[in-house]
């Protein structure tokens, strides 16, 4: 008879045992359960007899991942792993971030959303539908984890550059929260992905028998506003300490909801503020290469939605921080949308575009806008592929010794140009960044490693800092400071190979440093509800979930 070690802790009465434990992704260790644990927890005979370390489990996972023939198959395999053994899943992500992040998030998550209903296996997160009006608070009680600290919510209307994906957009909150756990160490049980299914105007989904959401037109107007209000009130009641990240709402709703709720609940919009911060960090790094001050820059944006305006607003804040007045700072940012240059004679401009509607003659051609406005940097957030043509990039290169070219649209298929095109058309002089990853490019005897302006450098750290301080509000200042912190971590080696962001392998350190700055700001501005620890840096590290070892039991 096997003797149990006296050091083995007692098992709580409500702790799952046997098959139930193996079906619990938070507590399951698979073949890593020790012989003593197998006896104590009723697992003998339910697992192969040989105990295998987490290292061996990771090796098996990576062998399977690399054996798949497509990234979508790899995505499905990894999500299945997340469903059965979350600690192992996050160990794999953390240890192989460069390889795994493009699979669990952009660009592959775009394909996963398009195919979500057809590949559906097991639900993750919560789906709150228009038919649940009046019952949202009761439905939130069904979530099994009490201490939710971060919620990512979408209504699926503007998924990446793919448009209205309805309930299929759940892949985005799930993916974002996977990055919160992997990149900032927020425990998976404290994360809640939510999709607000208010219908869809996507004709293909309305006709697709395998679509998982409501097959009805989108709810609009007062009914939509009331549903969102009920949702926010229910979240504040059920999870009063949660930070709410708004994700992939249509542009008008995104700005409106951010303005409406940011003072009532700790919330932010990653498409506006996170994108703005990661782009500003890239600009700071790019200027170390061009050796020019920010105050001498002029930026031309292709796209005037959430991402573009978010970046523009943060650039304006940065210029004002350097002593420029707001009116002059705004004139350093020009926008081209689907109708041409955003300028003062245009009628029916959306409210968020009005601060950037400068006096200028109408222009409808991007290359003409480049030659006329003479920008130092070109920022693409249009979601329209190949709009940075050779003529456009060449024109920018003729105006600048080191032209800044940011093709930030996601997924890869929507990028305004590729890294190879940017380097080739400028003879290797471009300072390039993209939203989705591109492989290194050999040109002119040099190897360029293009930087990826991935919001994962920003939002996990901001969320972690807000959680650490139990912040009542997430402010624009926090994103500005996050951008400066990220930029400060770019090394001279990074810049020498053309990379304007640090290696992804540093991302947990990046998130920790950003969290410290965000929490400090919350304390300094009187926005923190948690007592300030003596050593904030150490306190934040202690908050971070480390997937490199299984707990005895949780």
Q: Which residues are catalytic?
A: 105, 176
Cα-only R_g, the chain: 24
- Using left for φ > 0, alpha for ψ between -120 and 50, and beta otherwise, residue 387 falls in alpha
What are the φ/ψ torsions at residue 246 (nearest 5 degrees)? -80, 135
- The residue count of the chain comes to 554
Sorted by sequence, the CB contacts under 8 Å of residue 20 that are 6+ apart come out as: none
Phi and psi (nearest 5°) for 164? -75, 110
The answer for residues whose C-beta is within 8 angstroms of residue 175's C-beta and 6 or more apart is 104, 105, 109
Rounded distance between C-alpha atoms, residue 38 and residue 19, angstroms: 11
Backbone angles phi, psi at 405, to 5 degrees: -125, 110
Q: Which residues fall within 8 angstroms of residue 99, CB to CB, at 6 or more apart?
A: 65
Q: Which residues have a Cβ under 8 Å from the Cβ of 401 and sit 6 or more positions away?
A: 290, 429
Which H or E run includes 434?
A: strand 431-434
H or E stretch at 554: none
C-alpha–C-alpha distance, residues 386 and 421, integer Å: 10
């Amino acid at each position: 008879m096997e003797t149990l070690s006296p050091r083995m802790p007692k098992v709580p009465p409500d702790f799952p045992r046997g098959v139930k434990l193996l079906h619990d992704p938070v507590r399951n260790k698979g073949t890593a359960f020790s012989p003593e644990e197998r006896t104590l927890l009723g697992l003998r005979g339910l697992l192969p007899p040989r105990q295998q370390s987490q290292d061996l489990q990771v090796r098996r996972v990576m062998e399977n991942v690399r054996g798949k023939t497509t990234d979508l198959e790899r995505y499905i395999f990894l999500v299945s792993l997340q469903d059965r053994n979350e600690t192992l899943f996050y160990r794999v992500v953390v240890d192989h971030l460069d390889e795994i992040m493009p699979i669990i998030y952009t660009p592959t998550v775009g394909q996963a959303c398009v195919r979500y209903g057809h590949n559906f296996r097991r639900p993750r997160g919560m789906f709150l539908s228009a038919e649940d009006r009046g019952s949202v608070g009761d439905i939130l009680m069904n979530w099994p984890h009490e201490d939710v600290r971060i919620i990512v919510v979408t209504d699926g209307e503007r998924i990446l550059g793919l448009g209205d994906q309805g309930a299929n957009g759940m892949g985005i909150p799930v993916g974002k929260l996977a990055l919160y756990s992997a990149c900032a160490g927020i425990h998976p049980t404290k994360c809640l992905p939510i999709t607000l299914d208010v219908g869809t105007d996507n004709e293909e989904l309305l006709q697709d028998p395998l679509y998982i959401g409501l097959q009805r037109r989108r709810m609009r107007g007062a009914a939509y506003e009331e549903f969102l209000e009920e949702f926010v009130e229910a979240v504040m009641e059920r999870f009063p300490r949660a930070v709410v990240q708004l994700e992939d709402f249509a542009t008008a709703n995104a700005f409106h909801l951010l303005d409406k709720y940011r003072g009532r609940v700790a919330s932010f919009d990653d498409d506006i503020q996170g994108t703005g911060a990661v782009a500003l960090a890239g600009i700071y790094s790019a200027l170390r290469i061009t050796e020019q001050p920010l105050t001498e820059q002029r930026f031309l944006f292709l796209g005037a939605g959430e991402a573009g305006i978010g970046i523009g607003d943060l650039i304006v804040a940065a210029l004002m921080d350097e002593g420029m007045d707001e009116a002059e700072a705004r004139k350093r940012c020009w926008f081209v949308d689907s109708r041409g240059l955003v300028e003062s004679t245009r009628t029916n401009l959306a409210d968020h575009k009005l601060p950037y509607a400068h006096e200028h003659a109408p222009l409808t051609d991007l290359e003409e806008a480049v030659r006329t406005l003479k920008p130092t940097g070109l920022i693409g957030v249009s979601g329209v592929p190949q709009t940075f043509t050779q003529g456009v990039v060449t024109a920018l290169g003729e105006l600048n010794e080191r032209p800044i070219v940011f093709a930030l649209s996601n997924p890869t298929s929507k990028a305004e140009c590729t890294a190879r095109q940017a380097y080739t058309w400028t003879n290797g002089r471009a300072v390039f960044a993209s939203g989705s990853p591109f492989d290194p490019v050999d040109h002119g005897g040099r190897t360029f490693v293009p930087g990826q302006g991935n919001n994962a450098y920003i939002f996990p750290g901001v969320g972690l800092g807000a959680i650490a301080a139990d912040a009542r509000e997430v402010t624009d200042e926090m994103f500005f400071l996050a951008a400066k912190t990220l930029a400060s971590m770019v090394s001279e080696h990074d810049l020498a190979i053309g990379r304007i962001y640090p290696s992804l392998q540093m991302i947990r350190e990046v998130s920790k440093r950003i969290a410290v700055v965000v929490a400090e700001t919350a304390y300094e501005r009187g926005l923190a509800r948690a007592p300030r620890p003596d050593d904030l840096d150490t306190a934040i590290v202690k908050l971070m979930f480390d997937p490199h070892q299984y707990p005895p039991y949780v």
